[in-house]
Amino acid sequence: MRFGVMIVPEDRWQRARQKWRRVEEMGFEHAWTYDHMNWRTFQTKEWFTAVPTMTAAALETSRIKIGVLVSSPNLRHPAYLAKEIATVDDIAGGRLVLGLGAGGEGVDASMTRRTPWTRPERTARFAEYVELTDRLLSGPVTSFDGRYYFANDVHVRPHDTQQPRVPFAIAAAGPRGMQLAARFGQYWVTTGAPNRFERTPYADTVPLIRRQVEELEKACAATGRNPDGIARILVTGPSVGDVLASKDAFFDAAGRFAEAGITDLVVQWPRADEPYTGDVKVLDQVAEEL
């Protein structure tokens, strides 16, 4: 089991940099941030964007993998995303992981769009989004003519530091998303029950996580892929709650989820208020054991 920390991009950099540096010093394997214009209860609060944050984090750290969970069609055309990611991965020396998800129907989707996407359209659009992003990052020049996305001789240079491209961490809960993860992902990502933010004790979520892992393995089998070749990230939070209630809770949760097939457990950096309230001292205690 590998362990990581998600950092809400709410702090000005002089404070945020201390969190990223501390995650590395604590011995965690990876650190992540969110990719939104605004998000839920942070809509009227300070919120910093993902690409500049990852760039600064790449310069602040030297060992850990850094990444975003997740970028979605809500915000960028794949060509712009690919160029940004190739640049950040070069700055990071090949330590970047790109999380991709279909995106939700919140403020990211409504700020700059008059007509909301239907769920079938969002699903179909995400499939094209992943495929085109894969092509853009795998080769220096890409053309693509899809239903939703178009690219004409797009040059992505510098070519990605990692070969054949930066790893994808694909968030998926439904069948089509699982197929995309099986086909394109080096990681699969779950947050437990999709689109749920009610606090649920982590022990109660283990059966669901186990079923999701089984569905991922079926999707891998259907594509002819060895399921052992894809890592499985669980991002904890309200829907998989209380993991940082204590050091013992953390390691109990890690053991339960490892048995369910999870390979990477990500916890939220504890905050003073909701969401993700907690005590950083517990994170320190966990780090002492890692």
User: Is 156:140 a contact under the CB 8 Å cutoff?
Assistant: yes
Is the predicted pLDDT of residue 183 greater than 80, yes or no?
A: yes
Three-state DSSP at 100 gives strand
CATH class of 2-289: alpha beta
pLDDT of 105 reads 81
> DSSP labels for 132-199?
HHHHHHHSSEEEEE-SS-EEEEEE--SPPSSSS-PPEEEE--SHHHHHHHHHH-SEEEE-SSTT--S-
Question: Predicted confidence band at 215 (pLDDT cuts at 50, 70, 90)?
Answer: very high
pTM equals 0.96
Confidence at residue 57, expressed as pLDDT on a 0 to 100 scale: 98
Confidence of residue 27 (pLDDT cuts 50, 70, 90): very high
Which pLDDT value is given to residue 107? 79
Instruction: Look at residue 195 and tell me whether its pLDDT is greater than 80.
Output: no
pLDDT digits (tens, 9 = 90+) for 228-265: 999 999 999 989 999 999 999 999 999 999 999 999 99
pLDDT tens, 120-178? 999 999 999 999 999 999 999 999 999 999 999 999 987 768 999 999 999 999 999 99
Residue 159 is predicted with a pLDDT of: 77
- Residue 114, pLDDT score: 80
Using alpha carbons only, how large is the chain's radius of gyration in Å?
18
The predicted pLDDT at position 193 comes to 92
Phi, psi angle pair for 44, to nearest 5°: -105, 15
Cis peptide before 158 (omega within 30 of 0): yes
Query: Amino acid identity of 5?
Result: V
Average pLDDT of the chain to the nearest whole number = 95
Rounded CA-CA distance 35/8 in Å is 10
33: nearest Cα among 164, 136, 13, 45: 13
Q: Are strands 168-171 and 187-190 parallel, antiparallel or unpaired?
A: parallel
At 40 the pLDDT is 77
| Alpha carbons 81 and 84: distance in angstroms, whole number | 5
What distance in Å separates the CA atoms of residue 137 and residue 155, rounded to the nearest whole number?
A: 10
At 31-64, the pLDDT tens digits run 999 999 888 788 888 999 999 999 999 999 999 9
Say if residues 283 and 31 touch (Cβ distance below 8 Å): no
Structure tokens at 104: 């939700």
Percent residues over pLDDT 90 in the chain: 86
- Predicted local distance difference test score (pLDDT) of residue 109: 73
Contact 210, 240 (CB under 8 A): no
Give per-residue pLDDT as tens, 77-125: 999 999 999 999 999 999 999 999 999 887 777 777 788 899 999 999 9
